[in-house]
Chains A and B, each alone.
Chain A
Amino acid sequence: MISHFLNLEWKQFFRSASFSKSIGAKILVGFFGLYFAVCFLFIGIGGFYIIKKQFPDQDPLVLVNSFLMYAIVGDLIFRYIMQKLPVMNIKPLLILPIQKSKIVHFILAKSSLSFFNIMGLFFYIPFSVVLIKEGYDFVGVLGWLTAMILLTQSANFFNFLVNKNNAVFGGLLTLLILGYLVQHFNWFDLPGFIGQGFDAIYQTPILALIFLVVLIGLYFTNYTQLRNEIYLDAIISEKTKEVNSADLSFADRLGDVAPFIKNDLRLMWRNKRTKSGIWMLAIGLLYGLFFYPNPVYADMEFMYVLVGIFSTGTLLINFGQFIPAWDSSYYKMLMSQNFKYERYLKSKFTIMTISVVALFVLGIPYVYFGWKVLLVHFAAMIYNIGVNSHVIMYGGTFNRKKINLDEKAAFNFQGTGAVQWIIGFPLMLLPMAIFGLINWLVSFEIATLTLAILGFIGIALHKKIMATITKKYIANKYVMIHAFNQEN
């Protein structure tokens, strides 16, 4: 029976939509996973020595313990947002002659091997090894490590029990903030107090068994709850969300592209994939803060271009590169409707332009880092509107991958083909190179002006360029319809 389950899991993984056929995307996902693993591993190995060096008069283990509260609560918050018990998968199994208890045990056991539980180990295990190597008591460290593993697993099951309960989430946040505040103002060292508990485990390793009891308790609470609720009208029911309808009549002022723009705004707000993408806007906008406060970059003016292009162009890049794949699930319908393709593309262009200008305006506070920064950002904005928007729309004609709007965006490279990656580089690197070269050869002013002029040329030729791009889209119509019909 178990082998059947495992076989299904294997197939589910390798045949899933997000495990797309594109080798590039696969490598990238693998790379991210590896990146995090290596980061944790590095901290795990190096952490001990770094602490020793920074705080020579403190015991690294005690120090780590005194921060564990933050780690644990943070972990729970992260899980609350990201992790969910994949109950939908078991729907087809319910009508087969398999005992429900087996299904439940399997799904719970499987969850304990999830990404969220493994990642912590990359820190705890090497850290423990280093501790032993540095002469800490072997049994003590082993007890501590066991406690950590059991705690991670408990967090796993606790999270499913909480199951998106907002009150608990609020409680966790309060605990995190309160813990910090009482410690900060020296009223009560809550994190340290909890840390002492972990110190005690190191002293008396047998105490780790407490967490085993907790884990078993949580597991069986989960089990009983799930066992009683694997019904289509209980836990396996798909929740239908209430509509959030905002008044978008302001968009009517944009003329004949208004219906498409309203659609795109709704598309962005109402689908998982795009909704999590909206957070990218915030990251993109604040991207400059990674660079500008750092004096290392003060003389590297071409970095302004990177930040400028990126911070004003986040939506342009994230949204633009999947035109027209966003509309892939109903592309057939669009193609049988009464409108000119040009109008459709114009609506996309309008959205991108508005976003670029708006993001520039929101980014005006960057002037804090000097007028030069703002000047370059302005030139980058013009360049984004005049050049990059056209380039990205042209790149869209190569889109052959359907996008399933219901899938989450993080680590989701569905719809991504090689072209998206290839096109991403010239969008940012080309203006950087042009600017860098002229800045080096001539002057900062001329370099900035060149970017702006390139942008203005693009804007001046907008109609012509769009006509060419439209032709290309129409020529590719059937190929796209066919491709968007395939589930990838």
Chain B
Amino acid sequence: MIQTTQLSKKYGKAEVLNIESLEIPTGQSFGLVGNNGAGKTTYFNILLDLIRPTTGAIVNHDIQVNTSEDWKSFTGSFIDESFLIGYLTPDEYFEFIGDLRGMNKADVKSFLGQFDEFFNDEIIGKKKYLRDLSKGNQKKAGIVAAMMGNPQVVILDEPFANLDPTTQIRLKKIIKELTENREITVLISSHDLTHVTEVCERIVVLDKGVVVKDIETSAETLKELESYFSV
């Protein structure tokens, strides 16, 4: 359960985020939608304690994220390429993250084994540094790293951008499998309404930092969102 109360972020006079109350129950697949500057990444950054809220707080599984760091052990995330260590190979990167998340080499290997299809032979065992990979392949590595160490919460910012169609479909499958047992909460943001409605059971629309829609996904959701955004 992730609870957000009275959350706001201001830069000078400009308010970029203002969420009165938002509750994301455990096991939900939660989608965040909005135009550029809507506050999606800001919200994720506050949730990861990378920036401080002006008021209010986010409580992640009973831990207020800006007062304790204990949420880190059960939260995996990938926001952008700056989460990757460019001078490592993907294998070394996974080993590093695995180390931090208490996995030994064998654990890492068997974990990565599940993603063979997703990686499509382009990530593992290639003699290339992360910084030299294409944007799409970098993203694949980052997304998988976010799922390491059995996290309870997985946060992915724009996971579908830059991925090829095949990988997009595979990623959707992976996200669905993650939330299948209703134990892992997945938060994703996206500009692609089709993908997000397909994957998420609940969609929140942000506009200029404010929640303007909170929809339980149904057959009509895509139409509803499209009409909302086609202004």
Contact = CB atoms under 8 A, between A and B. Distances in A.
B99 A259 contact: yes
A294 interface: no
A336 B129 contact: no
Nearest to A474: B69
A408 interface: no
Interface in A391-424: 405-406
Interface string A208-244: 0000000000000000000000000000000011110
Interface residues of A, number: 29
A408 to B, nearest CB: 15
Give the interface size class of chain B.
20 to 34
Instruction: Decide if the interface of chain B is mainly helix, strand, loop or mixed.
Output: loop
B84 A266 contact: no
B132 to A, nearest CB: 4
B73 A329 contact: no
B129 A333 contact: no
Contacts of B97: 337
Contacts of A241: 129, 132
Nearest to B97: A337
Interface string A255-293: 000110011001100110000000000000000000000
Nearest to A258: B99
Contacts of B101: 337-338
30 contacts: A240-B129, A240-B132, A241-B132, A243-B89, A243-B129, A259-B95, A262-B96, A263-B85, A263-B88, A266-B92, A270-B87, A270-B129, A329-B82, A330-B83, A330-B84, A332-B48, A332-B82, A332-B83, A333-B85, A335-B50, A336-B48, A336-B72, A336-B75, A337-B72, A337-B97, A338-B100, A338-B101, A339-B72, A339-B100, A340-B69
Given A259-B99, A266-B88, 19 more contacts: A242-B127, A243-B89, A245-B127, A259-B95, A259-B100, A262-B96, A266-B87, A332-B82, A336-B75, A336-B77, A337-B72, A337-B100, A338-B102, A338-B149, A339-B100, A340-B69, A478-B51, A482-B51, A485-B82
Closest 3 A/B residue pairs (Cβ)? A259-B99, A333-B83, A338-B72
Interface of B: 48-52, 69, 72-73, 75, 77, 79, 82-89, 92, 95-97, 99-102, 127-129, 131-132, 149
